[in-house]
Structure 1
């Protein structure tokens, strides 16, 4: 594959040589292949058990009562996450909305929320703390537990904080825009056990964005009360046109539905507008899309490591999300990376990304994206806040060849910087 790409796309000779070495270093991985096969088999089993029929694909409008396709989709998520209930709606337009809605639905007006894995990513923290009408501005208490020295959760500090009283503990699984490592599903379960020892009544809610289907198990298999995320990231398979989800304890899901629609209406609402086919097809394709994405990111890690850049995680290391961090050290190099990556995009490849202000972020952000579904970060993209240590966060890529090409062209742009 590397030779086919290098034959058709001219890159700096140093990048080409590093690309060949990186491709060789990424071959193999029997343990990872077994895990990917397990995830794929689990999705096949979920669909086989659910028994989706042609009639389930019919469109609904208005209130969306008796939408069998929507009910099938919710049930599939329940099977995948091993939960009592699930609630996926097109009217939940982002992971941030689903996460915020769940936290607010589960937190009393004078309650307390603890972020267990340090500062959440900028847009979520803004929604919870700083923005007008945020939870904290309406009277709830919000605290963050700084990360431990190893980049994981400080369980001692978390347990002490929980003993002082807490209603909701938020766990951000992915690294976000921070110099920290992502958490495995099992580590999220360890957080849940720590919290329950100190505050048995507290709810542990996991921001699962970028982490779905990366491992054979999910945080809810290990004791988390609920997970929340976007349908245009991992679960969308590059096909789903929008939406977000909550899956977990029935009591949590019912609270979210009551907050989203109105108390007493339950989960029976939500028209599909003829998009159920795309949602189901995207979910069915999601394990393979995530597999391809992980392979492309592993190549990117190997390539940029060969070129002397600091990467996390390194090639061959366990991955718990679809994000690759690459530390570039300067604003100029961040912009060069983003502009090089943009050349690989199937949409808007002729445009050059420019940094700009993004709601919820303190610094300008440069983004490279050419997705068929705007914001679908299961498709190849990168984000980079223009602040030290000037890390770029490479995401997605529904085919490994596209991920590899993006990495090569980004590296080529850096070589000319």
Structure 2
């Protein structure tokens, strides 16, 4: 026996719901198609990396020679087309993961540059712009530079000047707004940012 949640709605409201469903059906079909495509990509990568039952069980000790962990990291790197990946339950938050990534690339006297203005509060503590947490980047002699946003958008004119700093080792883009009032940057805008960074740094 089938049951529809619309059966308990007043007829007028049920008709409106049906009308909206028909209107958005093309978009729902697109999403379903994308889901199936991504699912197929993951299944293909499971086959490519020979994932077996033994890779899906917990391991003990320090995780040395944990082939399941190694394979899942290889799959993530393959899926996102990166050189490598770290997929660990030890990462407690997004800030934790970003911090590990930044500290792996930056050394004393290097400069971390944010194209998208001052980062959100917890990253500020990691950099040493706020709070007094020991071991922050400032304490390690790592410099920070940013080009503040202009009306919620990247200030490309000033960013071009700021990127001339030869000590810049890492250029960061913060997509999310954090606690700011600007809108989240779209992927198209980030694509434009990346092209701009590559062009400026190549000329420099």
> If the TM-score is normalised by the length of the shorter chain, which range does it land in?
0.7 to 0.9
User: Cα distance, 1:40 vs. partner?
Assistant: 4.1
Structure 1, residues 143-163: CA drift from partner, whole Å, max 9, x if none?
A: 2222233x3322222222111
Tell me the equivalent position of 1:410: none
Change (3 A) 1:171 1:4: farther
C-alpha displacement at 1:27, in angstroms? 5.2
| TM-score (norm. length: structure 2) | 0.76
Bigger share in helix: 2
In structure 1, the residue matched to 2:154 is 153
Partner of 1:55: 54
Q: Secondary structure in 2 aligned to 1:71? A: helix
SS in 1 for 2:173: strand
Distance 1:41 1:91, change over 3 A: same
3-state secondary structure, aligned to 1:113? strand
Aligned-residue offset at 1:111: 1.1
| Partner in structure 1 of residue 141 of structure 2 | 139
Task: Give the structure with the higher percent strand.
Answer: 1
Question: How has the CA–CA distance of structure 1 residues 115 and 3 changed in structure 2, closer, same or farther, with 3 Å as cutoff?
Answer: farther
Q: How big is the shift at 1:43?
A: 3.2
Report if aligned partners of 2:41, 2:79 keep a CA contact under 8 Å in 1. no
Residues 290-346 of structure 1: CA deviation (Å, up to 9, x unaligned): xxxxxxxxxxxxxxxxxxxxxxxxxxxxxxxxxxxxxxxxxxxxxxxxxxxxxxxxx
The higher-RCO structure (CA 8 Å, 6+ apart) is: 1
Assess, with a 3 A threshold, how the Cα gap between structure 1 residues 3 and 159 changes in structure 2: closer, same or farther.
farther
Cα distance, 1:117–1:35 mapped onto 2, change above 3 Å? farther
Q: Deviations over 1:345-386 (max 9, x none)?
A: xxxxxxxxxxxxxxxxxxxxxxxxxxxxxxxxxxxxxxxxxx
Corresponding residue for residue 119 of structure 1: 118
What is the aligned length?
A: 188
Could you report, residue by residue, the CA deviation over 1:251-287 in whole angstroms, capped at 9, with x for unpaired residues?
Answer: xxxxxxxxxxxxxxxxxxxxxxxxxxxxxxxxxxxxx
- Asked if residue 43 in structure 1 is aligned to residue 30 in structure 2, the reply is no
Q: Where in structure 2 are the equivalents of 1:13-412 lying within 5 Å?
A: 24=20, 28=24, 30-31=26-27, 33-35=29-31, 37-51=33-47, 52-129=51-128, 130=130, 131-132=132-133, 133-149=135-151, 151-165=152-166, 166-200=168-202
Contact 1:116 1:171 in 2 (8 A): yes
Structure of higher CA gyration radius = 2
Query: Helix, strand or coil for the counterpart of 1:76?
Result: helix
Alpha-carbon distance between aligned partners in 2 of 1:179 and 1:32, rounded to the nearest angstrom: 30
Describe the shift of the 1:5–1:47 C-alpha distance in structure 2 as closer, same or farther (beyond 3 A).
farther
Q: Secondary structure at the match of 2:85?
A: strand
Structure 2 residues not aligned, in runs of 5+: none
How far apart are the structure 2 equivalents of 1:174 and 1:56? 34
Cα distance change, pair 73–199 in 1 and its aligned pair in 2 (3 A): same
